[in-house]
Structure 1
Amino acid sequence: MSQRLNKYGQHIGPELPGWTPRPWPARITFTGEYCRLEPVNAAVHGAKLYQAYALDDGRLWTYMFDGTFRSQDDFMEYVRRIEVSGDAVHFVVIDKKNNQPLGTMALMRIDTKNGVIEIGCIAFSSLLQRTRMSTECHYLLMMYVFETLGYRRYEWKNDSLNAASRRAALRLGFQFEGTFRQAVIYKGRSRDTNWFSLLDSEWPRNKAAMQAWLAADNFDTEGHNENDAWLMLESK
């Protein structure tokens, strides 16, 4: 409990001297060692993204609000829509080795006044899943949100039945906060939503763990790292 008291003897939260609203995230490119993040561009990325997703069955879209897609034209309509989204900034994850788009993710539910932002709409094809690129792209956006934009809180939400997403959130250092019951209706079904967060005060420790895991000497010649549950930071 906070040790600060007001004049009525009530506990109050920590003071934030000099706090100002945070900037809206920009549609810019981020380049890492293994991958590159570019703002979604349907004309540039759409067809190649569809090819990457076409290698998988429809299970990728089970817990997404969009998909599955009946055809490439149907998918292209979706990509054009997220390209011009006014309430989220969508990025394509690109393999630097061959410039192949492999998946998408978005900064969304952006609250500049309070410094809160969510990472969501994460749709990684099987070519991206469980690779160092899939970790590095998260690292690049976390670093941008905390260090460049100065946000205080980074959120992750998922369907409470999506076990893979829960594992990913914990692996990346997010802390589980609880479940909002019957929070959403999508695809004709009810969803309980799990909430996770990462705070600016936790970022330095998280950053060090991610950098250590992403170090080139942690991987074999085929790019595999056996330490998959590398973070799993415990709440303090």
Structure 2
Amino acid sequence: MPDSLDQWLAAKTPDTRTLEGHFIRLEKLDPTRHGDELWLALQGPGSDPKLWDYLPYGPFNERPAFDAWLQNHAASRDPHFYTVIDQPSGAAQGLISLMCIVPEHGRIEIGHVTFGAPMQRSPKSTEAVYLLAKEAFALGNRRLEWKCNNDNARSKRTAVRLGYTYEGVFRQHMVVKGKNRDTTWYSIISTEWPAIAAGFEKWLALDNQPKSGQIKSLEECRASAV
């Protein structure tokens, strides 16, 4: 059932506060402080060769182009970019944003997910999405979106794992890097969020994340939270 609008006001827009988690924190993107580490994480030795396949930019073979890209991101208000900081080391390891920000309708999206190899398939990547989703609903949004290229099987699997609901495909939605993009849409709505959030919190709990690896999957934690 849709949530009641009797008490609802327009959502707030994201600000520059740092969002703290167990494994990572999200800081407002600052190219001066984060640039060197992001260059290493996203373009250095050991970086993910498939990272840029479905992003509308990159890869960057030269540092000046990368720095200009970061500066543009930092200046943007929509998308609103965060740097993902590894808590133990303090190193910047990725980027993520809140975007398509429509406060009057309470609609927002998590996008521009650009995680370095050390973050992928780890609690850090899941916690980054959790922290932004938590912030999105705390700001008063009613709907959180996830969109990706329909050919991007990895992103589609991720959306389902994170608890998003599949909504359909927009055919011939965009042209990206000279190629057609059919876009797959997913969402979480505000009435679903409490149970999904509880699942995230169970999965991210330190007793579920020993050094040997997770005990229960995110799907199992979410199911037990319903």
Other structure's SS at 1:59 match: coil
Other structure's SS at 2:57 match: coil
In structure 1, what is the equivalent of residue 27 of structure 2? 38
In structure 1, what is the equivalent of residue 195 of structure 2? 205
Moved over 2 A (4+): 219-222, 226-234
In structure 2, what is the equivalent of residue 150 of structure 1? 140
Q: Deviations over 1:169-213 (max 9, x none)?
A: 111100000000000001000000000000100001101111111
Q: Deviations over 1:133-155 (max 9, x none)?
A: 11111111111111x21110000
Q: C-alpha distance in 1, partners of 2:209/2:200?
A: 14
Percent identity, please.
36
Q: C-alpha distance in 1, partners of 2:203/2:192?
A: 17
In structure 2, what is the equivalent of residue 87 of structure 1? 78
Check 1:14–1:127 CA distance in 2 against 1; reply closer, same or farther (3 A cut). closer
1:29 aligns with 2:29: no
Q: C-alpha distance in 2, partners of 1:110/1:85?
A: 12
Q: C-alpha distance in 2, partners of 1:221/1:14?
A: 40
Higher alpha-carbon Rg: 1
Could you tell me whether the CA contact under 8 Å between 1:157 and 1:195 is conserved in 2? yes
RMSD: 2.0
Deviation at 1:219, TM superposition (A): 2.2
Q: Deviations over 1:48-73 (max 9, x none)?
A: 10101122243100100111112122
Q: C-alpha distance in 2, partners of 1:163/1:35?
A: 25
Q: C-alpha distance in 1, partners of 2:87/2:48?
A: 25
Letter in 1 for 2:15: A
In structure 1, what is the equivalent of residue 58 of structure 2? 67
In the superposition, the TM-score normalised over structure 2's length comes to 0.92
Could you tell me whether the CA contact under 8 Å between 2:130 and 2:200 is conserved in 1? yes
- Given the alignment, which residue of 173, 181, 189 partners 2:163? 173
Runs (5+) with no aligned partner, structure 2: none
| Count of residues in correspondence between the two structures | 222
- Given the alignment, which residue of 182, 186, 194 partners 1:196? 186
Check 1:198–1:72 CA distance in 2 against 1; reply closer, same or farther (3 A cut). same
Other structure's SS at 2:50 match: helix
Check 1:186–1:232 CA distance in 2 against 1; reply closer, same or farther (3 A cut). farther
Q: C-alpha distance in 2, partners of 1:102/1:20?
A: 36
Deviation at 1:226, TM superposition (A): 5.6
1:49 aligns with 2:38: yes
1:98 aligns with 2:89: yes
Letter in 2 for 1:20: L
Check 1:42–1:162 CA distance in 2 against 1; reply closer, same or farther (3 A cut). same
Could you tell me whether the CA contact under 8 Å between 1:139 and 1:210 is conserved in 2? yes
Other structure's SS at 1:105 match: strand
Q: C-alpha distance in 1, partners of 2:4/2:199?
A: 29
Could you tell me whether the CA contact under 8 Å between 1:173 and 1:232 is conserved in 2? no
Deviation at 1:18, TM superposition (A): 3.2
In structure 2, what is the equivalent of residue 139 of structure 1? 130
Greater per-residue helix proportion: 2
In structure 2, what is the equivalent of residue 114 of structure 1? 105
Could you tell me whether the CA contact under 8 Å between 1:47 and 1:72 is conserved in 2? no
Could you tell me whether the CA contact under 8 Å between 1:170 and 1:233 is conserved in 2? no
In structure 2, what is the equivalent of residue 185 of structure 1? 175
Runs (5+) with no aligned partner, structure 1: 3-12
Could you tell me whether the CA contact under 8 Å between 2:202 and 2:221 is conserved in 1? no
Check 1:227–1:165 CA distance in 2 against 1; reply closer, same or farther (3 A cut). farther
